[in-house]
Amino acid sequence: MSVVKIRNLTIGEGSPKVIVPLMGKTSEELVEEVQVVKELNPDMVEWRADVYERLEYMEEVGRTADELRMALGEVPLLFTFRTHKEGGSREWSETEYFELLSRMVDSCRVDMIDVEYYSDEQQVKNIIQQAGEKGVRVILSNHDFGGTPTMEEIVQRLKGMQEMGADIAKIAVMPRSMDDLFTLLHATNRMKENYANRPLITMAMGKLGLISRLAGEVFGSAATFGAGKEASAPGQIAVDDLKDVLTVIHKYQYR
């Protein structure tokens, strides 16, 4: 499996990388929050832009991105607009969604963008190409809050993301039982062992999915999300606790 290098970070080797979200609603909140989050020593920081109240004003978005970039130094910045249909805070048209992503790619203020896999296929291909030309990495993602697909379906979605050109393929599902959790872990391992040629990020959300956030390295997930000042999805745990567990698993997995 190949790795993805962003600034000084290599995703796809060693223990899963810890990504911490910024959930501030205003520029002032974000600037304050990024200082708190930076103290947690995350591997990457995610700006959840769908929460930001002034997203329609691109000059303000750009200034805020500049401030975040300056504050983070060499810590990579992931830009995510999570649509309402996949658990986000705001309903936007696909035209608005892809225009925002395109502007952020062109700005060169972010290191990686999240693109939702179940969007217009041609638009997805276009933004992946644009990002590649600008040196911006792409996570293709799918968030299934309705339940957990079959193992075969999860693998097919991840394979589809790879084939479309994602740098990293990501899926999050909502388990209703322990069997659903096992399905997600089985699918992750199946993908890793048989099809993956780039890093994967997989997780089961909520309390039932906790082990998927902690033991991803065992099954093939290359990164995990930890709660900073505020969680961005059900089941995220505090960064310090997350790092402690990841370190122990990595130590004894490969000793």
Q: Would you say 141 and 112 are in contact if contact means Cβ atoms under 8 Å apart?
A: no
Q: Is 48 annotated as a binding residue?
A: yes
* The token pair that represents 92 in the structure block: 């936007």
Catalytic annotation present for 143: yes
Q: Is 63 annotated as a binding residue?
A: no
Catalytically annotated residue among 17, 143, 192, 243: 143
Catalytic annotation present for 84: no
SS3 of the chain: the string is: CCCEEECCEEECCCCCEEEEEECCCCHHHHHHHHHHHHCCCCCEEEEEHHHCCCCCCHHHHHHHHHHHHHHHCCCCEEEECCEHHHCCCECCCHHHHHHHHHHHHHHCCCCEEEEECCCCHHHHHHHHHHHHHHCCEEEEEEEECCCCCCHHHHHHHHHHHHHHCCCEEEEEECCCCHHHHHHHHHHHHHHHHHCCCCCEEEEECCHHHHHHHHCHHHHCECEEECECCCCCCCCCCEHHHHHHHHHHHHHHHCC
Q: Is 69 annotated as a binding residue?
A: no
Q: Is 47 annotated as a binding residue?
A: yes
Q: Is 236 annotated as a binding residue?
A: yes
Give Cα 153 distance to the centre of its chain.
20
Q: Bridge-partner residues for 176, per DSSP?
A: none
Q: Which residues contact 135 (CB under 8 A, 6 or more apart)?
A: 108
Catalytically annotated residue among 17, 170, 192, 243: 170
Q: Which residues are catalytic?
A: 143, 170
Show binding-site residues: 46-48, 82, 213, 232, 236
Show binding-site residues for 3-dehydroquinate: 46-48, 82, 213, 232, 236
